[in-house]
Structure 1
Amino acid sequence: MTLGRATLCLLVIAVLTPVHLTIGGVRLTPYLILAAMVLPFLLLRWMAAGPALRAPDLAIVALVLWQGLTIARLHPDQVLEFAGQQTLFTLGAYTAGRLLVRSAEDFAALLKLLVICAVASLPFALYEALADIPLILRMVAKSPFATFAENDYAARLGLYRAQWVFSHPIHYGLFCAFLMSPVVFGLGWALPVRGATAVALSAGCFLSVSSGAVLSVALQIILALCHRVAGLVGPPWRIVLATIGLGYLALELVSTRSAFTALSTRLAIDSHTAAFRTLIWQFGSEQVARTPILGNGYRYWARPPWMADSVDNHWLQQAMQHGLPATALLVAALASALWLVNRGSASEGMRLGWTLFIAGFVFSASTVAIWGEIQVIFMLLFGAGLWMAPEPAPVRRAAWRFTRAVNPPERPAHAPA
């Protein structure tokens, strides 16, 4: 095992270890401690002999800086803690994936490690879904360390919502959903193994009883089928994107509500969730209109007195807290990465799997806020896929000359000697 793969393994184990300490009012987790030690060396390596900076790299750095700027402006007393954690959650995980995964073998090793963790979670998740007892969290709670609070959601579809080692059940579901396409399409396993893996990951999504995770998997399957069919006609992604755009426009025209609201309410598991998403979009959008540039931070935003302050929409949450530039920078990072990777020469299966993973994230992020451990998993996989982007052509510069001309021009006849 190379040093890079060993570091990735330690980071994955750290992020899936549900313990934390609070020192001086600062919450520290195994991942934060390890990332704080590793990130400086990764950045030095990048500056010394790392891959060339590309548009996604610049967008992620700009996103972290902008988020820190908005919090410094709105909550100066919290800026150090926020900037430190967000730098490690976002830039730290992205940089680890970007620098430590530089080949198909590295990418496959990371995916295999993550899918082993996901499959190993199933017995715990099944027991939790049936008995409402998160075994690992309860064992950690009996130790000297603190851990996540157990969720207190009512049963859905006859099952309790499994969270495994995450802070929220939907984060466990997204963990399984994020792995679906990269593993099934990218690793090149035999069909029976791919089928069994897909069933296992789908089971994890289902045991979280989260519509965002289940529908993310469904979307990836539909897009994969559409990609296969469209490829028989012409450029597959152009056809798929054009079809999605026309369908969204048609829904916008025929629906009495916005197309986004119509989709999010119809695809929710229960009516209460659907109604709450509509209210979040309504009052959250009004807040964005009031503070479009720097956002509103963690301050109060206008809503009914009985309505909780949680925002189950990552895109909207970023705009509310940090302004529209934050959302735009994240969109720019994803869009430019998709463009670069799909111009590369890596295997079609790996490019397709990673592209579908991004598509699943874009959809699921409209139904949940992405933070903490699942944010690390996403950024790690996001950065890990950029090894498939073609390297830019080297820029040739004219060499500097410090010698006199071999044949200096003659002075004009009328010039003084």
Structure 2
Amino acid sequence: MWGASASSALLVCRTSQIFEVLALTRKSLELESGSQLTYLYGPQRSPVGRAAGAPRWGTELYLKLLLVAIVLPEGLSFFVGDFRLSVARVLIFCSFIAALQQLGQRLGTRTVVCVPSDILAPLTGVWMMLAATVTDGPAGVKGAGIEALEFVGAYLTFRFLLGPVDSSVRIARFSCKLMIVIVGIALLDPLSDKLFTYEFIKGITGYAKLSYDGPLAIRADTFYRDGVVRAMGPLEHSILFGAVCVWFGVVAFTTFRHQVLGWGVAGIALIGVWFSQARSPLLAYLIGFALASFYAASPRFAARWKLVGLCVTALLLVVFTFSGSPVATLVRLSGVSPEAAWARQAIWDTGGPVVLGSPIFGIGLNGDWNWQSHGALVSSSVDAFWLATAMSYGIPGSALILLTIASACWLGSIDKSPHLTPEERRLSVALGIVIATIAFLGFIVHFWGICWILIAVFTGMRANLAETAILRDRAAPAARMRCDPITGDI
């Protein structure tokens, strides 16, 4: 009996020791994991934080103010000599200099990852000014220089001034909330039966545009549909307002899909698109949310985007092979009205030869072209971003813009990176979907002003996330080596 009792006591003692060791091991692993995360992501002592320059909290506030300035109405701009400046342009110029300084510091420490768009964006700006100089002389540099500054400056700002940890997510969350305000302001247009923001700003500053006042006086389709004012808000056109709703709606729905914010902003964005009465953005909304839903429903399907790309390529090959009017066919397949489809086809049929006549440098920003040669066109407006940029800056200029926004994703998919937070991973996918909708809409919609700047913002944020994933991956071994496995101390 005594021997059995002693054996039982010894067994209990050994079992207790085993559980204590297991508990200690689990605790040490938790400490190690938490400390590694602190070491990896901490802005002051982590290699990621040092590599990114650990920007002060004021930098993030500046970026939020810049986003607000970007969406301010055009009527709040001011003139300095012959240059029309806006608050956004001034802030972009300042942040452009700060971004170059940040890049210089990081190049000195060799802690920067070169994303292809980092090379293509400045090259795009240089080509735009070169093409404008060739076509219009020194006078052409004024308009092209401003556009180049907006694009390159906004890209570099959101590429190099974002912080090392979740800064891009916080900026995205702020921009989604800002979108709610923009939609609320835009809905005042149909409610008041006038372009409320435009008329309000005109009453304060006296800034008026003949391209607005003329069509408004005759209630043209540009601003009215079925007798109702099309919502526009602070944007330059209702189609551009619809496009912005699509972009931020996709960002909110994809990044914050587990939160009320994500679903709420997505619904509000749909309301904005609907009241813009623009069918092209409505189609882009359906495409964007279909891609976002496909991503959410196929977490283990690694080849999802290859499948999507294959389907799109097959569709384009069939249409361009068997259709005599491929642009009109694609637009009609998209659900847009036959009149709009044939108008887009007419634009491409007339503008295409103009581009082929000056393929390298284009015809300039103010170049004349014989749009009257096609009976279906009623103005010189080119409602196709890729065609318009090719006409202004040549085929290389249009191609460089497309390659810049696409190359922000060329380092591969990062939504499976273990070193990004879940929201950062989803944001990377959201920005990829936004870039896809930009590329699609560019064939049937022209972007300028606020949308032109936002395209660069989205591209810079996507490139920043790609670099962040790589820097954290490089820093992970150092984090494991510097963590004490027992205490978790660094």
Query: TM-score, normalised on structure 1?
Result: 0.86
Match of 2:306 in 1: 238
- Unmatched runs of 5 consecutive residues or more in structure 2: 1-55, 475-490
Residue 27 of structure 1 aligns to a residue whose secondary structure is: strand
Q: Which amino acid aligns with 2:99?
A: L
1:317 matched to 2:374? The reply is: no
Match of 1:338 in 2: 409
Q: Deviations over 1:243-286 (max 9, x none)?
A: 1111222233443422x331124546444322221111001111
Q: More deviation in 114-123 or 231-240?
A: 231-240
For residue 373 of structure 1, report the CA deviation from its aligned partner.
1.4
In 1, Cα distance between equivalents of 2:403 and 2:203: 44
For residue 202 of structure 1, report the CA deviation from its aligned partner.
0.9
Q: Deviations over 1:64-114 (max 9, x none)?
A: 111100100111142342243123210111111101224462112211221
Match of 1:7 in 2: 62
Q: Which amino acid aligns with 2:136?
A: H
Give the counterpart of 1:138 among 182, 185, 199. 199
Match of 1:166 in 2: 235
Does structure 2 conserve the Cα–Cα contact (< 8 Å) formed by 1:170 and 1:208?
yes
Residue 95 of structure 2 aligns to a residue whose secondary structure is: helix
Distance 1:80 1:293, change over 3 A: closer
1:387 matched to 2:464? The reply is: yes
Match of 1:413 in 2: none
Q: More deviation in 12-21 or 310-319?
A: 12-21
Q: More deviation in 32-41 or 144-153?
A: 144-153
Does structure 1 conserve the Cα–Cα contact (< 8 Å) formed by 2:384 and 2:445?
yes
Match of 1:180 in 2: 249
Q: Which amino acid aligns with 2:382?
A: V
In 2, Cα distance between equivalents of 1:246 and 1:23: 51
Q: More deviation in 351-360 or 327-336?
A: 327-336
Q: Which amino acid aligns with 2:266?
A: A
Q: Deviations over 1:268-314 (max 9, x none)?
A: 64443222211110011111111111111121123326641111111
Does structure 2 conserve the Cα–Cα contact (< 8 Å) formed by 1:61 and 1:91?
yes
In 1, Cα distance between equivalents of 2:262 and 2:414: 26
Give the counterpart of 1:73 among 97, 118, 134. 134
C-alpha RMSD of the superposition: 2.5
Residue 378 of structure 1 aligns to a residue whose secondary structure is: helix
In 2, Cα distance between equivalents of 1:40 and 1:227: 38
In 1, Cα distance between equivalents of 2:134 and 2:157: 29
Match of 1:280 in 2: 347
Does structure 1 conserve the Cα–Cα contact (< 8 Å) formed by 2:189 and 2:197?
no
Residue 146 of structure 1 aligns to a residue whose secondary structure is: coil
Does structure 1 conserve the Cα–Cα contact (< 8 Å) formed by 2:432 and 2:462?
no
For residue 179 of structure 1, report the CA deviation from its aligned partner.
0.9
Q: Which amino acid aligns with 1:324?
A: I
Residue 309 of structure 1 aligns to a residue whose secondary structure is: coil
For residue 228 of structure 1, report the CA deviation from its aligned partner.
5.4
Residue 295 of structure 1 aligns to a residue whose secondary structure is: coil
In 2, Cα distance between equivalents of 1:147 and 1:2: 39
Give the counterpart of 2:101 among 34, 39, 44. 44
Match of 1:412 in 2: none
Give the counterpart of 2:290 among 205, 215, 222. 222
Distance 1:186 1:234, change over 3 A: closer
Does structure 2 conserve the Cα–Cα contact (< 8 Å) formed by 1:206 and 1:214?
yes
Match of 1:204 in 2: 272
Does structure 1 conserve the Cα–Cα contact (< 8 Å) formed by 2:116 and 2:408?
yes
In 1, Cα distance between equivalents of 2:153 and 2:335: 33
Residue 273 of structure 1 aligns to a residue whose secondary structure is: helix
Match of 1:99 in 2: 160
In 1, Cα distance between equivalents of 2:321 and 2:286: 25
In 2, Cα distance between equivalents of 1:382 and 1:237: 19
Q: Which amino acid aligns with 1:87?
A: A
Give the counterpart of 1:303 among 331, 352, 371. 371
Distance 1:324 1:84, change over 3 A: closer
Q: More deviation in 226-235 or 237-246?
A: 226-235
Residue 234 of structure 2 aligns to a residue whose secondary structure is: coil
In 2, Cα distance between equivalents of 1:234 and 1:20: 47
In 2, Cα distance between equivalents of 1:63 and 1:273: 31
Match of 2:3 in 1: none
Q: Deviations over 1:147-189 (max 9, x none)?
A: 6646734332553211100111111111111112221111354
Match of 1:414 in 2: none
For residue 366 of structure 1, report the CA deviation from its aligned partner.
1.4
Q: Which amino acid aligns with 2:68?
A: I
Q: Deviations over 1:26-46 (max 9, x none)?
A: 111111122222321221221
Residue 172 of structure 2 aligns to a residue whose secondary structure is: helix
Does structure 1 conserve the Cα–Cα contact (< 8 Å) formed by 2:131 and 2:361?
yes
Q: Deviations over 1:381-412 (max 9, x none)?
A: 22012122144899xxxxxxxxxxxxxxxxxx
In 1, Cα distance between equivalents of 2:163 and 2:189: 38
Match of 2:179 in 1: 118
Match of 1:329 in 2: 400
Alignment identity in percent?
20
Higher-Rg member (1/2): 2
Distance 1:119 1:228, change over 3 A: closer
Does structure 2 conserve the Cα–Cα contact (< 8 Å) formed by 1:156 and 1:209?
yes
Residue 22 of structure 1 aligns to a residue whose secondary structure is: strand
Does structure 2 conserve the Cα–Cα contact (< 8 Å) formed by 1:230 and 1:240?
no
Does structure 2 conserve the Cα–Cα contact (< 8 Å) formed by 1:93 and 1:376?
yes
Higher helix fraction (1 or 2): 2
